[in-house]
Chain A
Amino acid sequence: MLDSTFFAASAFLAVFAPSLLAGTIGLCSLLNVSLREQVIGRLSLLTNLLGLVGIFGVAGMMIAAGRTETILEFGHWVILPEEHFHFHLKFVFDRLSVPLATLSYLLCGTVAAFASNYLHREAGYQRFFLFYALFSFGLSLSFLASTIEVLFFGWELVGLASALLVGFFHERRGPVNNGLRVWAVYRISDALFLVAVVMMHHLTGEGDFDHLTGQGAWPNAVSLLSGREAFSVGGLLLLAAAAKSALIPFSGWLPRAMEGPTPSSAIFYGALSIHLGAFLLLRVSPLIANSAGLTALVIAIGLATAIVANLIGRVQADIKGVLAFSALTQVGLIVVEIGMGWYYLALTHIIGHAFLRTLQLLRASNLLQDYFNIETAVGRKIAMSRLSQLEDSKPAEMQPWLYRFGLERGYLDLLLDRGLVAPWLEFFRWCSRLESNGIAWFGNQVTAKFHQPGEEADA
């Protein structure tokens, strides 16, 4: 059954359905053809429906056949025997990727329906859906990837689309600045990821996950790498995941990403791309389990993120900021769960959290009405002082320094600026000085040679 063309077709749809939308809109944009809103809206619903049909088909057939892992092969695309390198295009359907791909299609479909209405008559309608399609394609590639190269490709697409959507309202300064910042952090993540890929090839000669994470269906696989190898590759991947999921110390970009239209904020930073780092950790979970140091690091980063994000979130007075840090708190906890080895809990947590957050963000603008309704029902104001009664464990008052810590968003942006950006800039300035000094010295040599002696004295 799993060898039938029907299965292959379903699997193909599950992976490549969003490329239909991305291809169509991309090509039209390239040829300067503007599509009607309705066409774009319908098309994006259709692609998500196709994707859902594909993934349900695959899941149904796998359940019927009693399989927990199936691979869709597209063969070797690059083989360099003497370099021990091969690039293998293949996709995996297992208990991790199928639920997440389903989640992604469901949410993307819903948000597409939302956005096609919400962005009605907006000048950037087509542009929005182009980025959206790239994002959605990137997600399906990442979730279903079975080699690290394919995952990297999807990961990059998601990052690119996210940064472009943060800067969607490019006529204002804020979105562009923040988009750039998001992009810069994503590049750090990508660079770390790439180093991990290279290192993995160095260690195993290929990018297939089964060497990295071992044979056996997720999450029961056992890594073939030794503890130290696992720590080095896994550590890099952990850092890459931290940047992507806005874990400490990269959290500063998350609230800044709330610049685009509300639906994009909802799906990207509330639901899907914020969980991409956690997904990566889940994907390489056997690797983490293999190294006690790595496990401890994962738990530490997760816990620190959850605590800091919670502290910052308590102080925020705008709804999108509140939701961003609430989401981050949960992502931190998900990472802790991964560290503890509770993979199914983490997976369920991701899915439940994604749905909840998307709904909350999509109706963020309804906050005033929601507050009014709740207050009317409960019969009192949702004032801050009331909160201490409801949550009697914590005092409502905060120490000024702690409050300031929250207000300054944990000084995390500053930490990055000073710890990462400043040395980098300093290095390049030093290079620039070196270059100009060199040129000046060279220039002096030349002038000294050609000038008559005594001329300088006249000047």
Chain B
Amino acid sequence: MSTLTIEEIQHAIDHAAHLLPSQGPLTVFIHHNTLHAFEGMPFDEGVRAGAKTLNCRTMLPESWYRQAWKQGAFSTEDVEAALEESLGHEADLFVGLLGTRFHLRRELLHQPVQAVLPEELDWVIAETAAFERFPSTTSGDLKRALVENTRRWVLRCLDHVNGSADPSNETESERTELKRFVKKCDALRSQFRFDRASSWSDKTWESLTLQMLWQICFRAVSRFPRWSENVHFIRHRDALLQWKGVDADGLVHERLIPFCSAFLDQGLSQTMMPRREAGFWQAFSDIFDSRTELLAPWLRPLQAELHQVEQRGLSPLHSIAESLSALGVTSAEVPDYLAQTLLALRGFAGMIWQIEKRPDRVSQPVPAGTLVEFLAVRLILDRLALRWLANQSDCDDLPLSQLRTVAAESLQKKSLGQIRSEAYAIFQLARGLGWYPKTLFSMSAANWHKVLDEIRAFDEYQRCLVFQAAFERNWRHECFDAILNLAEQPVSDISGISTTGANRGAEPAIPQGSGYLFDMIACIDEREESFRRHLEEVEPRARTWGAAGFFGVAMFYQAAESFQAIPLCPIVIEPKHGVTEEFQGEELAQAQERASRRRNLGEWQQRLHLHSRSFLSGIITSLVGLLAVIPLVMRVLFPRVTGLISRQFAGWFETTAKTRLNLQQQPEAAIHRLPGFSVDEMAEIIHRVLHDLGLIGDWSPLVIIVGHGSTSLNNPHGSAYNCGACGGGHGGPNARAFAQMANDPRVRSRLAERNLVIPVDTWFVGAFHNTANDQLTFFDVEAIPGWVQPRLVAARAALVEAARRNAHERCRRFMSAPLQLSVRDAVKHVQGRVEDLSQARPECGHATNAICIVGRRERTRGIFFDRRAFLHSYDTRVDDANLTILSRILGAVVPVCGGINLEYFFSYADPVRLGCGTKLPHNITSLLGVMDGAQSDLRTGLPWQMVEIHQPLRLLLIVEATEEGIHQVFAANPYFEQIVRNSWLQLALLDPQRPEIRRYVRGDFVLYQGSKTTRPRAETSSDWYSGKREDLRFAGIGPVGNTIYERHRSGVVHA
């Protein structure tokens, strides 16, 4: 049936491959939007399409939002404002009996409707009093009004029917209505004795009211059933599963999963798959082309099938075409069919596709075209499994090409149940909103149709979108208020500085006229927000900056002790330079001795690892295994002490020799065959990063650059906790390289030529911050000139103290850390977590991230952001007329932060299908990914333990720029414009001159009118967060009288 050409099929496969998860090997975890394939659509449509195509949930369930509403995460005002915004000019559309569309939808939002399956409905009717009594949540007034109205109406009608009223008063329409009413009563006559209506109790009336409502709703819905009641299946497997209850994928996956994991294996198993290098198809044919007596019965025709393909010399694509036509897939269906077939085992298919595209990222790459071969194999297996299962279910003579149609026909008759369950939803609405049976009864058919259409159009997804917008609105306003009111620094102070960098030093600096003690540049990562805040609290004369954590140094880095080089830069950049860490000459001998000890130890570990699996040497290993009791018991019961001991022990093997980065190596000398940086390139990097930050004058004598990363045990997702800007690696070497470059006199003289003069007495020091145990490492401190030393000692003490406080703040989110922990114990606690084999949550990662601010630190300094804000420094006065700097900052920040934010969002929304579920049963497979337990698809996304405290909010990106400026950026960066236009993030502009914020709404920038009058503040961060586990709101931190607002009040503000 399929008449597509081979090229068209190839095209369809390429297209479908974009739907696959784009997560690569776990060792390099790159955060990305889980629904990246749908970014071309507006968010509202994208999540709906994503849910349908990927068969998952892309928003939280309505009940979650209602709970959040109840708990005050957003207010009724937020809901109504969000609804109004979502409707735009359609808000005032009149929709029949219930007023405007806005009114109807508002009522629907206020009225929770319990969705009931047709099967459940029988139970509800039989076992609950749904048609007898109003639920206890209904207000008394509403209930009385409904019952009373019904009572009067029914009694009046009965009077007419019995002829006791005067018939001459009746109009024609009343007469027809009465006729209908009599008919209606017939349906209820078995339960209610209408002849005794006048003596009915209140309870009987209540019951009658509800019964009438139900009857009316049911009748209305059955007159206008939902549009598409047609049963339709894309895949045969779904048809057979629904129809006969047998799952073909179960059979296919049981064979395909072990084969795929063995084929993709990077070195976990002991034996290479035979003929692996010949490709997926060939390896599969070779292995399964052997005697079949022992095979599962459904696979018996496999050998003949493979032979047939081979004899006719069919390519995998031809085989796919043949399978499609055997399955009766029409040309129009092919794209969807292939997409759904690939998505059935999306983890493995995605991994194949990722490795095929980026063979440089793995040690055992796969040839191009593997995904096509995988699909060809899969379709053959699908056919065999379907055929066998169909035969087993007494459909021997049904050709596979007709399976879906026949199944759909036999499943067609379910619609009555669906009507009933929708009618029940309408009934709940009518009951909750107090729609009178009389009104509904006399409503015209056209009117009913309109109302039903309106209600159907506002389904759960639409409601959730409104709730989501309300949730975000509330958060956004809090954030705007905080930025406008709580920062330490008045805007007038900030904006008065002249726009050229050269004479900035003359301006009054913040704490003291003489300038700052030191500067600290950290990653933009939201986990560094608290670290920076604490540093500013510990040392008010410190200044902090945020830049993407690779600090412009994109390199392949080879550590002194390592034999391989790793890329340290964002995934989108392919490094052109290599850097090697080298031992200093005199220490080489010691280093070599340690290295050889380490190699011996490593080889023993490797032997232990391999031999424990093997045959006879396994016996010896097992006997030696008696010794395993020591690390086993120690590691589990005393993790922190064991960590300390093993680090002591490691002193034997790890070198303490001093090293130096070789930034200018010869390509021949390096493993990666890449050249080092030239002086010009180094000067360019420094120039660029310092301009990004806006740090081009007003120098302090010490600049500390802090890269970050995370360590943990038993954590396959460890790389996801590392620096995203370093491609899931540790950013320490980048910070070190940056400092080394900036200290280089040759670089400084080149910079001076380019009008960027770094004073001779300003020194750069690289450092590394471990975000899991809050330990700091400083690089190359012995190379520091003597006159910088005292300053470094002071700065170091401040940084260490800030890291300790940071550990304390982090502990409030760990349920297993007591709330009353002292700073000292908190430090111990986080150190213990990192060494603990049984710790599934070494740190909270990016959970709760929600804001990204690109602007000067002065605009945010002194605000408690609760570790939820990515902070990138940017000074619009340093930028050129085309805003080149802002364009390149946003070009990097938006994909990285947006990717992190949306990955957390969707992994939280559907932890099972978009996240990778709980970590507890994870099973590392092929050294590439994890399966659940013994056998499952490769699991992509984030584990539940990483996202459980997340708040699903789209990233609020606040840029310190003007409206004209951002339009320039839009023009320069179409991807950014598209993401903003399609609302995958929220954009707001912070005016560089005034305390004003404008928000992007459908192409316009709308000025935010401040609303909050309370201005929470606390002396220190710890005063604000101590003793609290939950999400905290913003607060001003610092001595009273320090915020803009307060200074305005007390008249301290500069004119």
Contacts and interface: CB of A to CB of B under 8 A. Distances in A.
Interface of A: 106, 110-111, 113-115, 117-122, 169, 172-175, 178, 255-263, 306-307, 310, 313-323, 325-326, 329-330, 333, 348-349, 351-360, 362-385, 387, 390-391, 396-401, 403-404, 406-408, 411, 414
Given A326-B613, A383-B267, A397-B274, A407 B259 contact: yes
Contacts of B932: 169, 172, 174
Interface in B589-614: 598-599, 601-603, 605-607, 609-610, 612-614
Interface in B249-265: 250, 258-259, 261-262, 264-265
Contacts of B26: 368
Contacts of B269: 314-317, 322, 384
Query: Which one of B624, B633, B815 has the highest number of Cβ atoms from chain A below 10 Å of its Cβ?
Result: B633
Interface string B614-656: 1110110111111111011101110000000000000001000
B606 A390 contact: yes
Given A352-B625, A377-B598, A384-B271, A326 B920 contact: no
B718 interface: yes
A169 B921 contact: yes
B935 A174 contact: yes
B294 A411 contact: yes
Interface string B664-693: 000000000000000000000000000000
Query: Which one of A256, A260, A352 has the highest number of Cβ atoms from chain B below 10 Å of its Cβ?
Result: A352
B922 interface: yes
Nearest to B639: A117
Contact of A381 (B363, B616, B618, B637): B363
Contacts of B948: 121
B401 interface: no
Query: Which one of B602, B622, B635 has the highest number of Cβ atoms from chain A below 10 Å of its Cβ?
Result: B622
B364 interface: yes
B800 interface: no
Contacts of A366: 713-715, 837
A260 B933 contact: yes
Given A326-B612, A355-B625, A384 B618 contact: no
Contacts of A307: 615
B418 interface: no
Nearest to A390: B610
Interface of B: 26-27, 250, 258-259, 261-262, 264-275, 286-291, 294-296, 363-364, 559, 561-564, 598-599, 601-603, 605-607, 609-610, 612-616, 618-619, 621-629, 631-633, 635-637, 653, 713-716, 718, 815-816, 836-841, 918-927, 931-936, 948
Query: Which one of B296, B816, B923, B936 has the highest number of Cβ atoms from chain A below 10 Å of its Cβ?
Result: B923
A306 B615 contact: yes
A117 B624 CA distance: 28
Contacts of B606: 374, 378, 382, 390
Q: Lowest 8 CB-CB distances: which A-B pairs, in order?
A: A377-B602, A356-B625, A259-B933, A261-B920, A353-B622, A117-B838, A352-B625, A326-B613
A348 B623 CA distance: 7
Contacts of A114: 636, 837-838
B612 A317 contact: no
29 contacts: A115-B838, A255-B934, A262-B921, A306-B615, A318-B923, A318-B925, A319-B924, A321-B934, A325-B613, A326-B618, A333-B616, A349-B622, A355-B627, A355-B628, A356-B628, A362-B838, A366-B714, A367-B268, A369-B715, A372-B27, A377-B603, A377-B653, A385-B272, A396-B272, A400-B275, A401-B291, A404-B288, A407-B259, A414-B296
Contacts of B602: 373-378
A118 B923 contact: no
Given A363-B714, A390-B606, A119 B920 contact: yes
A118 B287 contact: no
A258 to B, nearest CB: 4
B718 A369 contact: yes
Given A371-B267, A378-B603, A411-B294, A333 B619 contact: yes
B623 A349 contact: yes
Contact of B920 (A262, A357, A382): A262
B618 A355 contact: no
Given A318-B923, A352-B623, A368-B26, A113 B935 contact: no
Given A319-B923, A356-B621, A376-B561, A362 B615 contact: no
Nearest to A409: B258
Given A320-B923, A369-B713, A378-B603, 11 more contacts: A114-B636, A117-B838, A321-B934, A322-B613, A355-B629, A366-B715, A371-B927, A374-B602, A378-B599, A383-B266, A403-B287
A362 B270 contact: no
A362 B274 contact: no
Contact of B268 (A178, A317, A330): A317
Query: Which one of B250, B267, B291, B605 has the highest number of Cβ atoms from chain A below 10 Å of its Cβ?
Result: B267
Nearest to B603: A378
B1013 to A, nearest CB: 38
B815 A400 contact: no
A407 B630 CA distance: 35
Given A110-B633, A359-B628, A387-B270, A317 B925 contact: yes
B618 A333 contact: yes
A243 B291 CA distance: 28
A145 B517 CA distance: 74
A414 B631 CA distance: 40
Contacts of B289: 400
Contacts of B841: 120
B615 A329 contact: yes
A388 B621 CA distance: 19
Nearest to B712: A369
Nearest to A386: B267
Contacts of B839: 117-118
Given A113-B637, A169-B933, A329 B268 contact: no
B824 to A, nearest CB: 22
Contacts of A414: 294-296
A346 to B, nearest CB: 11
B636 A110 contact: yes
A256 B599 contact: no
Contact of A377 (B605, B609, B633): B605
Nearest to B273: A403
Nearest to A410: B294
A318 B837 contact: no
Contacts of B840: 117-118, 120
Contacts of A174: 932-936
Contact of A257 (B294, B615, B633, B934): B934
Contacts of B713: 363, 366, 369
Contacts of A367: 268, 716, 924, 927
Nearest to B294: A411
B716 A365 contact: yes
B615 A122 contact: no
B931 A318 contact: yes
A249 to B, nearest CB: 13
Query: Which one of B626, B632, B713, B718 has the highest number of Cβ atoms from chain A below 10 Å of its Cβ?
Result: B632
A384 B272 contact: yes
B715 A365 contact: yes
Contacts of A169: 918, 921, 932-933
